Structure 1
Amino acid sequence: MTSPRCSVVIPTYNGAHVIGEQLAALCEQDGAPPFEVVVADNGSTDDLAGVVTSWQERLAGLRRVDASRAQGVSVARNVGIDHATSDLILICDADDRVSPGWVAAMTSALADHPLVSGPVETALLSGRSASWVPIEQRTTQLFETWEGRSYGIGCNLGLRREVWEQVGGFDEHYPAGGEEIDFAWRAGDLGYEFAYVAGGLIHYRIRTDLRGVLRQQYNSGRGTAMLYARFRPTEVVPKSTLRRIHHELLLLKRFPWRGGRNQRRMWLTLMAFEAGKLVEARRQGVSAP
């Protein structure tokens, strides 16, 4: 195989049942430079190793590395990047599907920008569950958080190795939520900013089981509280105990009794997010944002 110009890192835990669709999409890239694919296995107990092996003849440069030293997507990302042989790193998830021009668009953008991210589309792989979470069904710009800071979603990232090294990698203390914002904020403090790559589209899979969606939103709420505890953005005014109780009561009051099933599930995801914020804020010893 020709030396890769970029490395695609896929952090994975028990993704044997879905990763084939992502690997097939990587086999069908248009106009892509030579690239390798590093599957960072975060201690899977399914047949991930066998599935990856079965794709190696079809996808040159595909390999699996052991990322089981600790649990967490940040651990897997860091291990995968550490094992990559090129200095241009692209990150996607095992249960999503990259578009045909993804590798070419993201690699080209990294020639001019140290950090890049593209749009995500949720309806194709998620069906009705795409409407359960507060993500646009097709994004058109970078995600934004406090103080107008933008970031790239963790399932659709491109970065130069030097940025990862200077920032110190992804913080492995976060749950699966908030860690990509933490990375972007620390990178921004060093002068590295994200660029939006319209051609770097990824089809993003929302979990189709309600329990999985609620767990995902709960962890996202925890990550939000951790971000607030660490960065204390000036525009966020923490709620007093009375204001917090009032806020939670208003959320409870908004339960869509007359709404449909999807509306009730949207409400439940919001409550899971709020619960995650409250639990983690108490753990961090701060007021919930």
Structure 2
Amino acid sequence: MSDLPRPVPELSVVIPAYDAVETLPTQLEALLAQRPDWPWEVLVADNGSNDATTGLVRSWASTRMPELRLVDASARRGPSAARNLGVAAARGPRIAFCDADDRVGDGWVEAMRRALDEHEFVAGPFEGALLNAGSRSAVSWTAQAHGLTVKPFLPQFVTAGSGNMGVLTAVFEEVGGFDEGARTAEDDDFCLRVQLHGHALEFDPAIVLHVRRRDGLWDVCKQAYSYGGGERRLLHRYAEFVAEAQTSSAETGETPSTGAAAARDRSGAGQGPSRVGRVAAKAAALLRRGGRVAGRAVRKAATVRHPGDLSDVAWRVCWSLGWSLTRVDPATPQVSRSRPRSLQGDLRR
């Protein structure tokens, strides 16, 4: 065995994992099939799995994939913590994220490296057909299929999913990584803070990821509810910037979008004539939104032809319930330009 030091990887691929023994081999096979001719590494950040995930990674690293490393990311729980601990163990100047239940597309490794040679922060499209052909009741749509996402209440920013994202290590460290207080929408939060630090998020269509959707109505509902709650928390954290978007809209004479108007009501960013008036406006906004969601769900339910249609309805309803019913912890830190430390990751860790 050589005692020579291993070369510094040019790209570090970080995969957060929890009880992923059934799906992780698909991801590792896809990465192994496109091994580059330059130094790289793949780090599986295991977040305290109860199944055989760690044994699987050790076996692959010793017999098939020497560039693979297992990172014990069990000290802090959650996807944000797993990614942060994975990056802390990484050695490369470029970081690429993918998830343990998805599959990177052909040429993903080279495309990610090229993109990070040109840009500081990148994301690519999600493809939803390959891994979901046999799904019984997954939703019928795929997010981020053709471009970046714009939040209705934060139109001045773009966001992307962390399952297909790349960033320079220096930029990741500058913003303090992912917010470990978030269980969902942590990737949106990360994207917002990177942009507030002055780094643009660029979309590269060559960086394709095949995503695996949740299959089963109950799993769809749980995920949708948690995503709605994550969005509500995001609204709280970025209330200052929601207010800025509203002010800009008013100055340009544009009509605020429904999402932005609801966000203003929920965040308390608006300046109403009185507390009673603000409460009444908030209640009215919630009722209007609830009525719209219920109406859309009823109309959609009337056209249900297969389980996927029903899952689409369930997603919309449960997401709206998560948004409406989630109560954000008042101690959740808010982000502000006047407090530079608030632009960092979770300061409580």
Gaps of 5+ in 1: none
Once the two structures are overlaid, the 10-residue window that deviates more, 212-221 or 233-242, is 233-242
Counterpart CA distance in 1 for 2:75 and 2:218 is 27
CA deviation profile, 1:147-204 (whole Å, cap 9, x unmatched): 14212211001011111111111001111x2111111111111101111122110101
How much does 1:2 deviate?
Answer: 4.2
1:139 is aligned, of 142, 145, 156, to: 145
Q: Is the 8 A contact 1:30 1:100 kept in 2?
A: no
Decide whether aligned partners of structure 1 residues 82 and 133 sit closer, same or farther in structure 2, where only a CA change above 3 A counts: farther
Give the match's secondary structure for 1:150.
strand
Give the alignment's Cα RMSD to 1 decimal.
2.1
Match for residue 304 of structure 2?
259
CA contact (8 A) 1:96 1:202 kept: yes
**Residue by residue, what CA displacement relative to the aligned partner does 1:120-161 show, whole Å, maximum 9, x if unpaired?**
10111023468616535x712222222142122110010111
1:205-284 aligned within 5 A: 205-232=212-239, 233=242, 234-235=245-246, 236-238=260-262, 239=265, 240-253=282-295, 254-255=297-298, 256-260=301-305, 261-281=307-327, 283-284=329-330
Partner of 1:112: 118
Alignment-derived partner of residue 36 in structure 1:
41
Q: 2:99 is aligned with what amino acid?
A: D
Larger Rg: 2
Q: Are the equivalent residues in 2 in contact too, given 1:110–1:160 (CA < 8 A)?
A: yes
Distance 1:40 1:70 in 2: 11
Q: Distance in 2 between matches of 1:149 and 1:130?
A: 32
Q: Quick one: structure 1 residues 282 and 76, their matched pair in 2 at CA, closer, same or farther if it must change by over 3 Å?
A: closer
Evaluate the alpha carbon distance shift between residue 42 and residue 78 of structure 1 in structure 2; reply closer, same or farther with a 3 A threshold: same
Residue 166 of structure 1 is matched in structure 2 by 174
Report how many residues are paired: 284
Query: 1:31, CA displacement in angstroms?
Result: 4.7
When normalised by structure 1's length, the TM-score is 0.91
Q: 2-11 or 89-98, which moves further after superposition? A: 2-11
Cα separation, 2, equivalents of 1:282 and 1:102: 37
Secondary structure of 1:71's aligned partner: coil
- Per-residue deviation, residues 251-271 of structure 1 (Å, max 9, x unmatched): 224321452232222111111
Secondary structure of the equivalent of 1:207?
A: coil
For the residue of structure 2 that corresponds to 1:149, the secondary structure is: strand
Give secondary structure in 2 for the equivalent of 1:147. strand
SS at match of 2:261: coil
Matches within 5 A, 1:145-164: 145=151, 146-164=154-172
CA distance in 2, matches of 1:94, 1:30: 18
Pair 133,185 (structure 1): closer, same or farther in 2 beyond 3 Å = farther
Aligned residue for 2:193?
Answer: 186
Structure 2 CA distance for partners of 1:32 and 1:205, relative to 1, 3 Å:
farther
Q: CA deviation at 1:280?
A: 2.3
Which deviations, in whole Å up to 9, do the C-alpha atoms of 1:231-285 show, x marking residues without a partner? 1213422352123123213322432145223222211111111111123246559
